[in-house]
Amino acid sequence: MNESMNFGSGQENQEEEDNARCADYLERHPTPVFVQLESSPDFESLVADFEKKHSLDELLEIGQLSAGLFGMFSKDRDVPEETIEWLVSALSPEDAQRYRARTSAKQDLKPIVEALKSHSSGREAYMKLSRAVGMISGNEVVHDR
């Protein structure tokens, strides 16, 4: 019977010791600088600017691609800007709007990606925006990767 009472007392002592060790550790190790930078207004303003400029709902609606739009997305890296404008003019008005919206949003993600290198908590915000832009897979834009 005494053993069970000692066991309970030992468990309480262990918990107190653990709490004291944690408090001591936190006192000796202040918050690292990179954690303090996570709320940097620069990163937050990049995300806010992106969301003001681009409609996430509109980007998320881009799904199944026409053959022309798929061709544009799959080859636009290798084509000069003036040729791209000419090719976009050959798309339907809806496809041209989708192309311009996604291409502009994709370009505007680049500074956010750069800022992520020093803001680890920004990953969630970036993933939200990146999913809205989506990835080309086959002949559609996939928003769940």
Q: Is 1 strand, coil or helix?
A: coil
43 and 18 part of one domain: no
Is there a single domain that holds both residue 9 and residue 56? no
Report how far residue 66's alpha carbon sits from residue 63's, in angstroms, rounded to the nearest whole number. 10
Task: Enter the pTM of the model.
Answer: 0.60
Q: At what angle do helices 93-116 and 81-89 cross, to 10 degrees?
A: 140
Walk along the chain (145 residues) and give the pLDDT tens digit of each residue. 444 444 555 667 777 887 777 677 666 655 544 444 444 557 888 889 999 999 999 999 998 899 988 888 888 888 888 888 888 999 999 999 999 999 999 999 888 888 877 666 677 777 888 888 888 888 888 887 7
Assess whether 65 and 8 both reside in one domain. Answer: no
Is the domain of 92 the same as that of 125? yes
Strand segments, DSSP code E, in the chain are: 135-137, 140-142
Q: Looking at the 3D structure of the chain, how many domains does it have?
A: 2
